[in-house]
Structure 1
Amino acid sequence: MYKQFYSGMDLTELPLFALVLFIMVFLGVCAWVFGVRRGKDFDALANMPLAEREGGHE
């Protein structure tokens, strides 16, 4: 079925290239999100609900 679908196509490597590109982008985003240097940002955001509000409003 794969060969039949792509038989008239000149760029038979295009689906493989798109898959590799998608995997590289996905892994790059995962590394950026879960990177070590972003730990401080996550800690600050996690403590926001527990922080006292300024101005005396409750």
Structure 2
Amino acid sequence: MYQQFYSGMNLTHLPLFSLLLFLGVFLGVVAHLFIARRSQDFETLALLPLAEQGESRQATGGTNHE
């Protein structure tokens, strides 16, 4: 089926090349996310809203009803 579609074209290896390019980019993104251990940065950023809220409660001298 593919041979009939690509019979008049010189780009017969284009689907394979695009598949390998996509696979390489996908694996690169996954490796960057899971291998690059930046959990300390994420934990610090995740605690920012709670830290600001706790500081405002201490500054007012009591509980903050929101």
User: TM-score with structure 2 length normalisation?
Assistant: 0.64
Q: Where does residue 23 of structure 2 map in the other structure?
A: 23
Q: Quote the sequence identity (%).
A: 60
Q: Distance in 2 between matches of 1:21 and 1:40?
A: 32
Of structures 1 and 2, the larger Rg is shown by 2
Count how many residue pairs are aligned between Structure 1 and Structure 2.
Answer: 58
CA RMSD between the two structures: 2.3
Q: Distance in 1 between matches of 2:36 and 2:43?
A: 12
**The structure with more helix, counted as a fraction of residues:** 2
* Other structure's SS at 1:37 match: coil
User: TM-score with structure 1 length normalisation?
Assistant: 0.70
Q: Where does residue 52 of structure 1 map in the other structure?
A: 52
Measured after TM superposition, the shift of residue 41 of structure 1 is 2.0
Segments of structure 1 that go 5 or more residues without pairing to the other structure are none
Q: Distance in 2 between matches of 1:27 and 1:2?
A: 27
Segments of structure 2 that go 5 or more residues without pairing to the other structure are none
